[in-house]
Chain A
């Protein structure tokens, strides 16, 4: 028993509630929001050290015995994700202070971000499939508020689509949970992992597994359910977009990862084959989008979809290399996507447009910014020794060791397309004839650039120091590959 696992969920919730008391006091809003996220980060670090020394931390709420109460389980995978999502939120918060605008700050922007964090951290920590639904709803509520925040015309239009898609997928989620309950009689993930192998009716379980893939696929934006993402993510301002791009789809990916390793393993030949095929199709669809547009936001948005495909392909292999690669790539992707969105955000501020064709020649006036962007771009494509490399290497290795060598070949080939898509931004924006730029004063520029640059530096550390992080990644992978570790931690408390 340890309540520590709950701290990264409860702390942002408390701070969000406190922030609602004085929405108009700008200085207090900023200070309390940063204090809240910092406190969450510290609690996540403490939790991380606890999990790495003492193993999985599980607590079942309300002192009920394990399969009956709601279990919260913090294993290495979940604590790594909690840690990276909190880190990303902190930097996005610093970035949003100079960019989001006073009007938004005064109308509950910071509470919404903290509620989003509550939902995201909760979804990563929960060990109960219905509670997962609840936490996904919490983060969706906050994301509804954020996507429409400011009430610009494109935001209103896109938020209707976003709402509609998510309400439908949530309804499907509840039905899928009901089916699962009617077949197994439990919703505790550890208990599911015990009961599912004992059930002989594999057919109905396979149907439920695919239903869950559809549900989580909506959130994670897999092929062909990603249609809502490019439009909806395009509408809100850059800080919000960075949060969404770095965190929201990852919750869906995590949910697929967890359910498809812990208990939906009764018919791997069908479900994981399907997952592998869908993952590859997702990568291809994302690549087409990333190359087709001349809009910097759209290019990075389509790169989210590509990354989702890459991670899920690793999971579908269900071997050590594949799963560890997926975990590494997931952490990398949260950091690098946030960094890239923030970088692209600065680009759009400098040029006053997000159209690549109206950009050019920035390397002379902003050399450091240019090279930072190039590093982030190389990191995304996975050029060694940057952070995209170790994850992708392991995923590709997983594919070759498994039965899907063709998938690994696709990932290798599409890496070049990913590189092309982001280097294209670099070439258009930084080389060539200098285009008209908006003059922004030095202090304003630095307040945007510094948090972004630190985030990029962190991804470099993650890549160059991969050897340092690998023990934690393999810890996380071990739990995914041996469900018994997870089951014992929850049920034999």
Chain B
């Protein structure tokens, strides 16, 4: 049965981008305030799931042609590499580095190596969530 989903599809086209923008905001907010890679990843995954609900799996696969297992692995590697970098500097594992930079537009900004770790977490969360949902979704 094919229901009329014009409303859902039209709304999704707008809402998806709002969710994605919000995910980016939450991701960067994560260092000092609530948020971070985990929630950001979940939000991104929810945007993709919304696309899947409004359209269907093959369409979404065409829009976002990502192998989520590879995405998970890449995320893991980024996270481990960030944490392991401390071995090179001979400080305890997971020690983070940060400094303040004057960036155009943003002004004085603190940049953290923890952000790279969070990026890894973000990719792992998106990858794992989407792998689970896709596997269940494909199973008719």
CA distance A20 to B80 in the complex (A): 15
Partner of B93, one of A3, A16, A20, A23: A3
* Nearest CB in chain B: distance from A12 CB, A: 11
In the complex, are the beta carbons of B73 and A18 less than 8 A apart? yes
Q: Which of B96-111 contact A (CB under 8 A)?
A: 96
CA distance A1 to B84 in the complex (A): 15
Check A61/B93 contact, CB under 8 A, given A20-B72, A20-B73, A21-B70: yes
Residue A317 is within 8 A (CB to CB) of chain B in the complex: no
Residue B87 is within 8 A (CB to CB) of chain A in the complex: yes
Q: Which of B72, B74, B92 has the most CB of A within 10 A?
A: B92
CA distance A69 to B92 in the complex (A): 11
Partner of A63, one of B72, B73, B87, B92: B92
Which residue of B is nearest A16, CB measured? B76
Which residue of B is nearest A23, CB measured? B69
Which residue of A is nearest B77, CB measured? A17
Which residue of A is nearest B120, CB measured? A17
In the complex, are the beta carbons of A20 and B96 less than 8 A apart? no
Residue B95 is within 8 A (CB to CB) of chain A in the complex: yes
In the complex, are the beta carbons of A14 and B80 less than 8 A apart? yes
CA distance A23 to B72 in the complex (A): 13
Residue B46 is within 8 A (CB to CB) of chain A in the complex: no
Residue A275 is within 8 A (CB to CB) of chain B in the complex: no
In the complex, are the beta carbons of B84 and A10 less than 8 A apart? yes
Residue B91 is within 8 A (CB to CB) of chain A in the complex: yes
Check A17/B94 contact, CB under 8 A, given A3-B87, A10-B80, A10-B84: no
In the complex, are the beta carbons of B92 and A20 less than 8 A apart? no
Residue B86 is within 8 A (CB to CB) of chain A in the complex: yes
Residue A253 is within 8 A (CB to CB) of chain B in the complex: no
Residues of B within 8 Å of A, CB-based: how many?
Answer: 19
Check A1/B69 contact, CB under 8 A, given A10-B80, A18-B77: no
Check A20/B94 contact, CB under 8 A, given A10-B84, A13-B76, A14-B77: no
Partner of B80, one of A17, A23, A63, A69: A17
CA distance A20 to B67 in the complex (A): 11
CA distance A336 to B98 in the complex (A): 49
**Chain A: interface secondary structure?**
helix
Residue A284 is within 8 A (CB to CB) of chain B in the complex: no
Partner of B69, one of A13, A20, A62, A72: A20
Residue A139 is within 8 A (CB to CB) of chain B in the complex: no
In the complex, are the beta carbons of B77 and A63 less than 8 A apart? no
In the complex, are the beta carbons of A59 and B80 less than 8 A apart? no
Residue A6 is within 8 A (CB to CB) of chain B in the complex: yes
Residues of chain B within 8 A (CB-CB) of A6 are 87, 93
* Nearest CB in chain A: distance from B128 CB, A: 10
**Chain B: interface secondary structure?**
helix
Residues of chain A within 8 A (CB-CB) of B96 are 62
Residue A40 is within 8 A (CB to CB) of chain B in the complex: no
In the complex, are the beta carbons of A63 and B76 less than 8 A apart? no
Residues of chain B within 8 A (CB-CB) of A61 are 92-95
* Nearest CB in chain B: distance from A105 CB, A: 16
In the complex, are the beta carbons of A62 and B84 less than 8 A apart? no
Residue A143 is within 8 A (CB to CB) of chain B in the complex: no
Residues of chain B within 8 A (CB-CB) of A23 are 69
* Nearest CB in chain A: distance from B130 CB, A: 14
Which residue of A is nearest B90, CB measured? A3
CA distance A153 to B75 in the complex (A): 33
Residues of chain A within 8 A (CB-CB) of B83 are 10
Residue A60 is within 8 A (CB to CB) of chain B in the complex: yes
Residues of chain A within 8 A (CB-CB) of B91 are 1, 63
Partner of A62, one of B70, B77, B87, B94: B94
* Nearest CB in chain A: distance from B11 CB, A: 35
Which residue of A is nearest B87, CB measured? A3
Q: Which of A3, A60, A69 has the most CB of B within 10 A?
A: A3
In the complex, are the beta carbons of A17 and B92 less than 8 A apart? no
Q: Which of A41-66 contact B (CB under 8 A)?
A: 59-63
Residues of chain A within 8 A (CB-CB) of B95 are 61-63
CA distance A310 to B113 in the complex (A): 48
Which residue of A is nearest B79, CB measured? A17
CA distance A21 to B93 in the complex (A): 25
* Nearest CB in chain A: distance from B15 CB, A: 32
Residues of chain B within 8 A (CB-CB) of A20 are 69-70, 72-73, 76
Q: Which of B9-44 contact A (CB under 8 A)?
A: none
In the complex, are the beta carbons of B92 and A59 less than 8 A apart? yes
Which residue of A is nearest B81, CB measured? A14
Which residue of B is nearest A1, CB measured? B92
CA distance A77 to B76 in the complex (A): 30
In the complex, are the beta carbons of B92 and A60 less than 8 A apart? yes
In the complex, are the beta carbons of A21 and B73 less than 8 A apart? yes
CA distance A20 to B70 in the complex (A): 7
Residues of chain A within 8 A (CB-CB) of B72 are 20
Partner of A59, one of B70, B77, B93: B93
A-B interface, 10 closest residue pairs, ranked by CB to CB distance from nearest: A20-B73, A17-B76, A62-B94, A63-B95, A61-B94, A17-B73, A17-B77, A3-B87, A59-B92, A6-B93
Q: A3-B90, A17-B80, A61-B94 are in contact. List 10 more A-B contacts (CB 8 A).
A: A1-B92, A6-B93, A10-B84, A10-B93, A13-B76, A13-B80, A20-B76, A60-B92, A62-B93, A63-B91
5 A-B Cβ contacts within 8 A? A3-B87, A10-B80, A14-B77, A18-B73, A63-B92
